[in-house]
Amino acid sequence: MDHIQLLRNICMYYLQLEERAAADCMPAIGAHAYKQYCRYRMKLNRLVVLHGGR
Domain spans of the chain, in order of start: 3-50
Rounded Cα distance between 4 and 22, Å, is 27
Along the 54 residues of the chain, how does pLDDT read in single tens digits?
A: 699 999 999 999 999 999 999 999 999 999 999 999 999 999 999 999 988 765
Q: Give me the phi and psi of 5, to 5 degrees please.
A: -65, -40
- pLDDT at position 1, please? 66
Say what the pTM is.
0.87
pLDDT at 16: 97
What does each C-alpha distance from 54 to 8, 13, 29 come to in angstroms?
12, 21, 32
Question: Torsion over CA of 29, 31, 37 and 43, rounded to 10 degrees?
Answer: -120
